Chains A and B, each alone.
Chain A
Amino acid sequence: EVVLTQSPDSRSVTPKESVTITCRASQNVGLNLHWYQQKPHQSPKLLINYAFKPFSGVPSRFSGSGSGTNFTLTISGLEAEDAATYYCHQSYRLPRTFGQGTKLEI
């Protein structure tokens, strides 16, 4: 199974700051890495698919990069509404797996 390890586990940030979350895969997943945002008591929402493609309607301050085993999600110019937990997810191999999550407090 592909293990996804995110860092940091949590971070406290201020509005307008920029933050980068990393996701490291235990084996090569190509570009088959996606990012989600989950707010309390809500379902996860897709932000970035295939490492760098913004999903429909996602604000431009969210961007993704990376390939193979190392990926990043960057949020530029944080807004209060970005307080959430962020997850990476790989769709390269079965079973599908998720990172442990990164909680952003704003």
Chain B
Amino acid sequence: QVQLLQSGPGLVKPSQTLSLTCGISGDTVSNTDAAWNWIRQSPSRGLEWLGRTYYRSEWSTEYAESVKSRITISPDTSKNHFSLHLRSVTPDDTAVYYCARGSLGLDSWGQGTLVTVSS
């Protein structure tokens, strides 16, 4: 059974970088049948897909246009996790952030992290 465990701070100051990590158990980040996603949820935006990373014969990443200039999603095979870095945050980035495995749909989700952007 796949389990995803998120870690990272719940409070980030405006203009700084939001950083979260998603630890994977029961699967590997380099599974060629899976993609590793970050999604956020807020009352104003609903569920918003931010991007994903996946391995086939090489690593690939894809991002939503709305955050493309500010986001990096990266895998770490040695620690079997993947990370989200969102730069230059504003209060509008306040949301619950989720990691999720994409295989047959988004079939495993992390527990969610409420990230508040505030000084």
Contact = CB atoms under 8 A, between A and B. Distances in A.
Interface of A: 34, 36, 43-46, 48-50, 53, 55, 87, 89, 91, 94-98, 100-101
Contact of A46 (B47, B64, B98, B107): B107
Interface residues of B, number: 19
Interface in B66-119: 98, 102, 104-107, 109-112
Nearest to B64: A95
A33 B46 CA distance: 17
Contacts of A94: 62
Chain B interface, DSSP helix/strand/loop, else mixed: strand
Interface centre among B47, B62, B98, B102 (most CB of A within 10 A): B47
Contacts of A55: 104-105, 107
A95 B104 CA distance: 17
A43 B47 contact: no
B46 A34 contact: no
B46 A46 contact: no
Interface centre among B65, B98, B102, B105 (most CB of A within 10 A): B105
Interface in B6-45: 37
Contacts, number: 49
B49 interface: yes
Interface of B: 37, 46-49, 52, 62, 64-65, 98, 102, 104-107, 109-112
B46 A53 contact: no
Nearest to A53: B104
A88 to B, nearest CB: 10
Contact of B49 (A46, A49, A96, A100): A96
Given A43-B112, A95-B64, A95-B65, A49 B46 contact: no
Given A96-B49, A98-B47, A101-B46, A91 B64 contact: no
